[in-house]
Structure 1
Amino acid sequence: MREIVVCGEALVDVVAQASIPAGGGSLPALQPALGGGPFNVAITLGRLGSAVSLCTAVSTDTYGDAIVGALQAAGVGTNLVQRRAEPTSLALATIGADGGAHYSFYVEGTADRQVLAPEPFAQTVAAVCFGTLSMVLEPGASVYESLLRRCHAEGRSVIVDPNIRPAVIDDEDGYRRRFASWMDAVDIVKLSDEDAAWLARGPHGTTPDEWLEAGVSAIITTAGADGIAVRTARSTVSAPARRAEVADTIGAGDSVVGGLLRYLDRTGALSPAAIAALGPEQWRSAAEFAGHVAAITVARPGADPPWASELASDYVDSQQHPYPDLRSTWLKPE
């Protein structure tokens, strides 16, 4: 059995459902929800049926207990979750009129930053995913960076989603330089078009061309309503965004990562060699599937990705069967 490990933070999103009024007035109601990019990716994979674990440090506080419970309810393995006494990180998310989320973070002295290097992963672990705050905030960032290189050296696929949050990056040029240094150990980079523009700035900015030259096999770029593009050294393909009534965009990019990895898992393409060998039509199908997963997520408040049964009903009910190469195996047991 192939397994996927997602590495990085789990936190609590405190969501403000309306903008804070200028000049005073009543503050909007706040709604706590479990989140964090890596947490959302792991939940997506677990709900879709992949064998997945989250490697992280989680508080022993009430929120930490809720995080572990949610992982287990989604079928995510928690044997790599380290429990610590420090508090859970908080992200204040304010939802704009377009459904977009704007964040500020409360992360000083929190549990997820104190993660320790895990024991060697099982031989069944085929792919390892990294990203978001965990690759920025020390001392945990250095732990994850070492783990990234270790996984690459062990022949596992490495996926990185930088999910740039400028509010927590004190040294922007330093982070850009560090990001570029990972590219010779990474198989897939997933990022938004805004992330790509941010990473290209300054004296240490780099571009997808340079990442491909360093050895990255595929770059997955999301552009909101403009869909998803996949670029390799040989081709560029795109998949249009699936229509959705957007509640908010929390977890949208994380759902793309989870959907993409689920597609690669279900089609037997998780290894570095298999990823490098994928052709344009396979990448197009992968992007379409990932976009479908994200469309369901954005139609619901918060990061609430779909379960496999929700997608399976689409395959059964749709006359066009949008993912024929996956539909024939979707309902088979692992």
Structure 2
Amino acid sequence: MILCCGEAVIDMLPATAPDDAPSFRPVTGGAALNTAIALARLGQATGFFGGLSRDAFGKILIEAMQAEGVDLSRAPLFDAPTTLAFIHPGDGTQGFSFYDRESAGRQLTAMSLPPLDGIKALVFGGISLIHRPAAGAFEALMQMAGADRLILLDPNIRPALIEDAEEDYRKRLDRMLPMADIVKLSDEDAAWLGPVSPEDLLSGRACLVLHTHGRDGVTLHSRHGTLHVPAPEAEVIDTVGAGDTFNAAFLAALAEALPLTPRAVGLADAEILERAAQFATRAATLSTTRPGANPPTDKELSCAP
């Protein structure tokens, strides 16, 4: 099973009320939830670990993941509100307004860490890594996962949410990046992190760095060198969740080709990595052609151009 570790939130998408007044429509979101659902739709056994709320929005998140077959046995429930993320579309990008203070997702502590029996890979990232105590719990879980479980880290940095936690957050990422086997960075992540080169990351545990460029595809850095995979042409409607879909599809493609272990991925040949990146890029691109975080299924991908 692949365990997706992080936040589950309600994305409030712009909508129009029956009287033509501007409105918002609640849909499921959050890096870990999106990745878990995307993996499940691609036929992978998937679990979610993160704080979930007992409120009405939390019920929506729980039911959505259960409907996709995501295992929630490791996800604790809290009497705290669900995080809300209001989406503001821009010119090819998305703006966000988050309501996250005292949320269920922030309630995790080191006492909340789940057992890892049966877990072969873990995915970390998103806003869950910003604020204590939950951020510290995810870092501890990454340490607990050890050297034999594959770890993918996607910081998915949201500068507007960091507030006065930047110094602590940067130090946490400095500790977590060297513990990951696969590091995925967007152009925005790389700019915020500063002078961190793929070569620097590959000098530690990481065997693969995935640098995504939105419409311009992805660049892979590995022991084979550097490889660029372009993104297919598409009419983009919404980019929310595209990075999460990319991560899920990349892992799903790897899982079809080899065991999901650090050693197997580290020794994977360039052809396997290129096919995985092509599959992930197609999946992420397809997800941008519809509103909200709505990752494709295997069947949809098989029919897509």
- The correspondence of residues 1-334 of structure 1 with structure 2, limited to 5 A, is 3-16=1-14, 28-98=22-92, 100-116=93-109, 117-122=112-117, 124-153=118-147, 155-169=148-162, 170-200=164-194, 206-314=196-304
Equivalent residue letter for 2:229: A
Aligned length: 299
The residue matched to 1:250 in structure 2 has which SS? coil
Give 1:4's aligned amino acid.
Answer: I
**Residues 220 and 230 in structure 1, CA contact (< 8 A), matched pair in contact too:** yes
Residues 153-190 of structure 1: CA deviation (Å, up to 9, x unaligned): 4x111110000000121343442332122233110011
Say which one has the larger Rg.
1
Q: Deviations over 1:181-228 (max 9, x none)?
A: 22331100112011111101xxxx533222111221101111011101
Q: What does residue 22 of structure 1 align with?
A: none
Is the CA contact 2:152–2:180 (under 8 Å) kept in the aligned structure 1? yes
| Distance across 2 between alignment mates of 1:171 and 1:113 | 14
Q: CA deviation at 1:152?
A: 2.4
1:17: how far off?
5.3
- In structure 2, distance between residues paired with 1:34 and 1:222: 23
1:75: Cα distance to partner? 1.6
Query: Aligned letter for 1:92?
Result: F
TM-score, normalised to structure 1, is 0.85
The CA distance in 2 between the partners of 1:7 and 1:282, in whole Å, is 26
Distance 1:226 1:173 in 2: 31
Rounded to whole Å, the distance in 2 between the matches of 1:87 and 1:171 is 21
Distance in 2 separating the partners of 1:16 and 1:113: 26
Q: Which amino acid aligns with 1:259?
A: A
Q: C-alpha displacement at 1:27, in angstroms?
A: 7.1
Distance 2:156 2:21 in 1: 28
The alignment's TM-score, normalised by the length of structure 2, stands at 0.93
